[in-house]
Structure 1
Amino acid sequence: MLTADTDVSTARAVAARAAPSLAILEMPGRQGVGFVASPHGFLVTNLHVVAGAEEIHVLLADEQFLEVEEVVALDEKRDLAVLQLPTHGLEALRLDGAAHPGEGDVLFILLPAGGGMLGLMETRVHAVQVLDESLTFLELEAALPEDASGSPVLDASGAFVGVATCAFADGRPVTIVIPSRYVVPLLEQPGSRPLSALMLVRPAASRERQVPTHPISLLEGCATDGVEEIALAIMQAIQLGAPAYNRGDPETCYRLYERTAEQLLQERTDCPGAQAALREGLQRCTRLDDADSCAWALRDTFDGLLHVIDRWLQAQAAFARMSAPKSYLQ
Structure 2
Amino acid sequence: MSDDVQARRARAEEALRGTSASLVLLDLGGHTATGFVISSEGHVVTSLHAVASARAITAVLPDGLRSPVVRVAAVDERRDLAVLCLSVPELVPALPLGPATLPSEGEALHIIQAHADRPPESRVLEVRAVQVLGEWLTLLELSRTLPEDASGSPVLDARGQVVGLATAALANGRALGLVIPVRYIAPLLKVPGPPQPLSALDAPRQRATRVRQVPQHPVGLLEGCATPAVESVASLLGQAINVGAPAYNRGDVEGCYRLYAHTAEQLIDERDDCPGVQRALRDGLLRCEGLKHVEDRAWALRDTFDGLMDVIGRWRQARPAPLTPAHKRPPPKTYLN
Range class of TM-score, shorter chain: 0.5 to 0.7
Matched residue, 1:145: 147
Distance 2:304 2:16 in 1: 47
Matched residue, 2:104: 102
Distance 1:120 1:59 in 2: 18
Match of 1:194 among 193, 197, 200: 197
CA RMSD of aligned residues (A): 3.2
1:117 partner SS: coil
Runs of 4+ in 1 over 4 A off after TM superposition: 3-6, 203-206, 240-244, 289-292
Q: Give the C-alpha shift of residue 49 in structure 1.
A: 0.8
Q: Give the C-alpha shift of residue 97 in structure 1.
A: 4.1
Matched residue, 2:157: 155
**What aligned pairs does 1:1-330 form with structure 2 within 5 A after superposition?**
4=5, 7-89=8-90, 90-112=92-114, 115-189=117-191, 191=193, 192-202=195-205, 244-247=248-251, 248=253
Change (3 A) 1:68 1:126: same
2:185 partner SS: helix
Distance 1:203 1:110 in 2: 30
Change (3 A) 1:243 1:149: farther
Q: Which amino acid aligns with 2:201?
A: L
Q: Which amino acid aligns with 2:102?
A: H
Q: Which amino acid aligns with 2:249?
A: Y
Change (3 A) 1:243 1:125: farther
Q: Give the C-alpha shift of residue 244 in structure 1.
A: 4.7
The unaligned stretches of length 5 or more in structure 2 are 210-241, 260-302, 307-337
Q: Which amino acid aligns with 2:68?
A: E
Is the 8 Å Cα contact of residues 22 and 36 (structure 1) preserved in structure 2? yes
Is the 8 Å Cα contact of residues 167 and 176 (structure 1) preserved in structure 2? yes
The unaligned stretches of length 5 or more in structure 1 are 207-237, 253-288, 293-330
Q: Which amino acid aligns with 1:196?
A: S
Kindly provide the CA deviation profile for residues 192-249 of structure 1, in whole angstroms up to 9, marking residues without a partner as x: 111221122217979xxxxxxxxxxxxxxxxxxxxxxxxxxxxxxx9x9766524345
Distance 2:207 2:110 in 1: 25
Deviates more, 1:143-152 or 1:75-84: 143-152
Q: Give the C-alpha shift of residue 52 in structure 1.
A: 2.5
Q: Give the C-alpha shift of residue 107 in structure 1.
A: 0.5
Q: Give the C-alpha shift of residue 4 in structure 1.
A: 4.3
Distance 2:42 2:142 in 1: 29
Q: Give the C-alpha shift of residue 60 in structure 1.
A: 1.2
Matched residue, 1:315: none
Is the 8 Å Cα contact of residues 70 and 193 (structure 1) preserved in structure 2? yes
Change (3 A) 1:242 1:124: farther
Distance 1:204 1:166 in 2: 20
Report the number of matched residues: 226
Identity of aligned residues (%): 43
Matched residue, 1:309: none
Kindly provide the CA deviation profile for residues 268-312 of structure 1, in whole angstroms up to 9, marking residues without a partner as x: xxxxxxxxxxxxxxxxxxxxx8989xxxxxxxxxxxxxxxxxxxx
Q: Give the C-alpha shift of residue 72 in structure 1.
A: 0.3
Distance 2:5 2:181 in 1: 27
Is the 8 Å Cα contact of residues 162 and 182 (structure 2) preserved in structure 1? yes
CA radius of gyration, larger in:
2
Matched residue, 2:230: none
Q: Give the C-alpha shift of residue 141 in structure 1.
A: 0.4
TM-score normalised by the chain length of structure 2: 0.60
Distance 1:243 1:152 in 2: 30
Distance 2:62 2:44 in 1: 13
Is the 8 Å Cα contact of residues 45 and 82 (structure 1) preserved in structure 2? yes
Matched residue, 2:219: none
